[in-house]
Structure 1
Amino acid sequence: MSNASDWITVGALAEGFAPEAFILPKLAELAGRRFTLFFENGWEIDHRFDAEQVHWIATDGHSSGSAAYRATSVRPGIYLVDFIKHEDSKDWSISLVIDSHSQSFTAVIGSLPSAEQTREGLYSRALAGKTLTTVQASFYHGSLDKPWQPGACPHAPTTELVGIRNRYRYSPTEVYEHIYLNPDYYTWQCLKGVEQGLCDTDLCHYYKIADELYLFVWREKIVPTLGLVMIDLQNHRSDGKIFGYAGDRFDSLSNFPVASYCDLLNRTDYGDE
């Protein structure tokens, strides 16, 4: 039976996932390329890629910098780019879904809570009408290399995963199950691995990127964690990352890649309910 001592840090989770992990290789094809991202909210940010780093600068000067990045693709022509941006004395998780087919993108900007925020109890947050998790994520859409116009980005919230029960094999030793309950929550459990026996229900977000291709983001409340993966139901593959504090002192980060072979266990149809 699981108990409180079974919960581990994101850094320990990364160590458990690492041996023989089924991660996708980092793509080299973005090296030398440049995109101007025109956001729906009016931002215009130039992104230039070399072999190791992405360099960005906003036309209005509100953001600029460079960072190491990871680029992968589970579907030809659609890229997931992930990096950490340190700005305004804070670390930000930046994930870009770059869609060359529609010349559009979706950006996910996430952040972790402070040590003080993690000490606020779940019960007090519930009574105050707050989300139970203190992990933050914001979603932005836009167009590539051309000014934004309404409808330019086809990526949109979806309920197509709701009712699905999927199994994810991240390595020979790490296996998880996801049950997509409703548009806002999912349940996970570790079937095999360093978190075996643990489970929870957490806040999540679903976006349809293309036919049977989804961006899935979750925010955990017990161990502050931001998870983000692309799920390809056609090719039974997922790829993304898990972001959190490496240890329990809030002084270092872990942002590690995760990828899986996934299969559908069952699908529940609630009819008109």
Structure 2
Amino acid sequence: MHEIVDFRTPDTWPNLSEFEAGMDQNSPDATSALAGRTIALHYENGRVAEYQLGERELSWTVRSGEPPRPGWGPYSAPYVATEFAPELFYVLSRDDRAGAPKFVISVLDLAAGIATTIFGEVTSTEGRGSLEVHFEHAGIGSPSERRHERTGVMDGKRTLWRYSDTHLYEHIYVNAGTFGWHAVTGPEQGAAEIVPFRAYQIREDIILMWFREGYWTLTASGLMDLSDMRLAISGWGWDFRGRKPRGALTLLGARGVLLGEVTYPQV
């Protein structure tokens, strides 16, 4: 017989720390391969910013042009990085010094000489809080006419991701801007959402995915390899229940299977 699983309203969902416990079973290895390097990013809007990476902390400094948001000065923060594929790094950082956290998340493709950065800032911690996010593209070392383009390659796909023996989630990619998830097993079982989504083509089978949670003041971003169905992902934003910054320094991973793909008829 099939187990009856009822829909869970968000007010019954577990706290973030509760459902994430034990979820790191398939997390990718962190790397210090970028330590000691300085990487100049030439953004399409003319800004030049510089990453200086140590063993555990980085600085992100605007050398010319305007900052990504008003009030963003020199940014220094702890970081975590993983080498998702040869010469392809996913770098996550969070700066809490000003109270409301700022996030700089970058995909650095050193082989192709291009990067995509997601800038996030918690602009209010009142009530549920608010989170601003935007994307920028850059050349590494010099300006580039190439960029990671948005893609609809995930449209219609359904995937199943196992983060641990108990954390199993299905992803439903409705279209290039809409995404659904639900918890098949684990502490969130029965929870589900349809939320805003973006995907960028990083390499032939590697996708940068991003989505914004509807209930939590939280967004998630990660790299997905469709050739061997693996995922490296982090949620980041504001934990309004716990009244504290959340994520970006915890990198989770999952192994997946493609359940199928829907092709809609022409109408």
Does TM-score exceed 0.5, indicating one fold?
Answer: yes
Among candidates 185, 190, 199, match of residue 197 of structure 1: 190
Report the Cα offset of residue 254 of structure 1.
3.6
Q: Is the 8 A contact 1:114 1:250 kept in 2?
A: no
Aligned to 2:112: 102
Counterpart of 2:258, as a letter, is L
Q: Is the 8 A contact 1:168 1:175 kept in 2?
A: yes
Q: Is the 8 A contact 2:100 2:122 kept in 1?
A: no
Mapping of residues 172-191 of structure 1, within 5 Å: 172-191=165-184
| TM-score where L is the length of structure 1 | 0.85
Aligned to 1:52: 56
Mapping of residues 95-244 of structure 1, within 5 Å: 95-112=105-122, 114-116=124-126, 118=128, 134-146=130-142, 148-149=143-144, 151-153=145-147, 155-244=148-237
Aligned to 1:270: 264
Q: Any idea what SS the aligned residue of 1:142 has?
A: strand
What is the Cα-based RMSD across aligned positions, in Å? 2.1
Q: Distance in 2 between matches of 1:214 and 1:175?
A: 20
Q: Tell which deviates more after alignment, 5-14 or 68-77.
A: 5-14
Aligned to 1:125: none
Q: Tell which deviates more after alignment, 64-73 or 238-247.
A: 238-247
Aligned to 2:81: 71
Structure number having the greater helix percentage: 1
Q: 1:56 to 1:244 in 2, by over 3 A?
A: closer
| TM-score where L is the length of structure 2 | 0.87
Answer yes or no: is 1:22 the counterpart of 2:35.
Answer: no
**Sequence identity of aligned pairs in percent?**
22
Aligned to 1:39: 43
Counterpart of 1:179, as a letter, is I
Counterpart of 1:143, as a letter, is G
Report the Cα offset of residue 104 of structure 1.
0.7
Aligned to 2:91: 81
Report the Cα offset of residue 246 of structure 1.
4.1
Q: Is the 8 A contact 1:10 1:245 kept in 2?
A: no
Uncovered stretches (5+) of structure 1, i.e. residues with no partner:
120-133
Q: 1:86 to 1:245 in 2, by over 3 A?
A: closer
Q: Any idea what SS the aligned residue of 2:210 has?
A: strand
Counterpart of 1:241, as a letter, is S
Total equivalences in the alignment: 254
Aligned to 1:122: none
Counterpart of 1:31, as a letter, is A
Bigger relative contact order, structure 1 or 2 (CA pairs below 8 A, ≥6 apart): 1
